[in-house]
């Protein structure tokens, strides 16, 4: 029996991952703040345990991990997916908005790691999957609050690789392109390569089964974004401005 712990299961990618992973041989415990949505998932998936918690609250995350392990046993796989995205205009920097992005997207992952890693190290077994974004590869329009949190997560995962792989823990970072969710519904621009949450979850589950450290999808879009990252800034800014209009 595999136990997968997932944050951010009440919508979008996390909900799709939960629906696809729940199976008689696969128990899932999932965190979110919307209790009604956690209850709805539990009603349709008997293998699912819903845990109401705010990932930005370290004590609440510690408690969620304790409850998950009490119900389903040791966590084999942790998918740290909960995230906040609010497009911003950098001409008006609201530090509360920037701080909240860091507290949820970055510290939310750190709080889960704090609660999960010691037992995985003791067991010399575990798989940690950190959901970042292609927005962490280079600065994108409207992403001044969100992008830096994802760049920080990529750097965090890279550093943890050195510490955790010798202990038998597998760590991966996931960099999706655009996925059709509540988060991207706020975007008023064309989103190339937009995927459904179900297709994104399938791509992510396939990537998690691989030995790759980084899982990026959809390939057509992420290959282009990766190339853009290596251009001189003058060319990068000009191409990005022409493509997005910002
Ligand atoms: N959509 C995209 O195009 C895209 C692209 C690249 C990367 N990503 C990343 O993929 C992940 C999932 O994104 P999504 O598009 O599926 O987002 P979404 O539809 O907006 O769903 C976000 C999920 O995170 C949870 N969440 C947000 N703040 C939370 C908090 N403080 N405490 C606990 N849970 C919280 C939400 O649950 P509650 O509101 O119930 O708490 C919800 O389940 C995020 O990390 C996002 O940055 C998304």
CA of 37 to the centre of ligand 1 (A): 14
Tokens 């740290």, residue located: 80
CA of 71 to the centre of ligand 1 (A): 24
Q: Do the Cβ atoms of 136 and 150 come closer than 8 Å?
A: yes
Predicted pLDDT at 240: 94
- Give the largest Cα separation in the chain, rounded: 54
Predicted pLDDT at 242: 93
Written as six digits, the tokens of 13 are: 């990618």
Ligand 1: residue whose CA is nearest its atom 36: 8
Predicted pLDDT at 171: 98
Give dist(CA 128, CA 114) in Å, integer: 12
What CATH homologous superfamily does 2-244 map to?
Answer: NAD(P)-binding Rossmann-like Domain (3.40.50.720)
CB-ligand 1 contact for 119 (6 Å cutoff): no
Low-confidence ranges of the chain (pLDDT < 70): none
For residue 14, which atom of ligand 1 is closest to its CA?
16
Predicted pLDDT at 54: 98
Give dist(CA 208, CA 77) in Å, integer: 10
CA of 16 to the centre of ligand 1 (A): 12
Predicted pLDDT at 151: 98
167 secondary structure, DSSP code: G
- What are the CA-CA distances from residue 232 to residues 89, 134, 152 (Å)? 24, 18, 22
Q: Write out the E strands in 107-204.
A: 126-131, 169-176, 179-180, 195-196
Give dist(CA 15, CA 210) in Å, integer: 22
Mutate-to-test residue for ligand 1 from 8, 18, 36, 152, highest number of ligand atoms within 8 A of CB = 8
Q: Do the Cβ atoms of 182 and 189 come closer than 8 Å?
A: no
Predicted pLDDT at 48: 98
Q: Which helix (H) or strand (E) holds 193?
A: none
Q: Write out the E strands in 56-166.
A: 77-80, 126-131
Report the Cα 208 to chain-centroid distance in Å.
13
């Amino acid at each position: 029996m595999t136990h997968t712990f997932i944050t951010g299961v009440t919508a979008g990618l996390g909900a799709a991952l939960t629906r696809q992973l729940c199976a008689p041989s696969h128990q899932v415990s999932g965190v979110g703040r919307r209790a009604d949505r956690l209850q709805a998932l539990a009603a349709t998936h008997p293998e699912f345990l819903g845990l109401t918690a705010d990932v930005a609250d370290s004590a609440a995350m510690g408690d969620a991990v304790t409850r998950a392990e009490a119900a389903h046993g040791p966590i084999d796989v942790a998918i740290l997916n909960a995230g906040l995205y609010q497009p911003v205009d950098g001409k008006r920097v609201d530090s509360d908005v920037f701080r909240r992005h860091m507290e949820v997207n970055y510290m939310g992952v750190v709080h889960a790691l704090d609660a999960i890693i010691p037992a995985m190290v003791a067991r010399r077994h575990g798989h940690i999957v950190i959901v970042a974004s292609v927005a962490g590869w280079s600065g994108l329009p409207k992403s001044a609050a969100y992008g830096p949190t994802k760049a920080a997560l990529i750097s965090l995962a890279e550093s943890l690789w050195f510490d955790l792989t010798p202990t038998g823990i597998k760590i991966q970072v996931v960099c999706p392109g655009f996925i059709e969710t509540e988060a991207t519904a706020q975007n008023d621009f064309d989103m190339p390569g937009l995927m459904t949450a179900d297709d994104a979850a399938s791509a992510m589950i396939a990537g998690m089964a691989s030995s790759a450290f980084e899982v990026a999808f959809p390939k057509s879009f992420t290959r282009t974004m990766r190339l853009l990252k290596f251009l001189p800034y003058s060319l990068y800014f000009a191409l990005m401005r022409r493509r997005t209009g910002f």
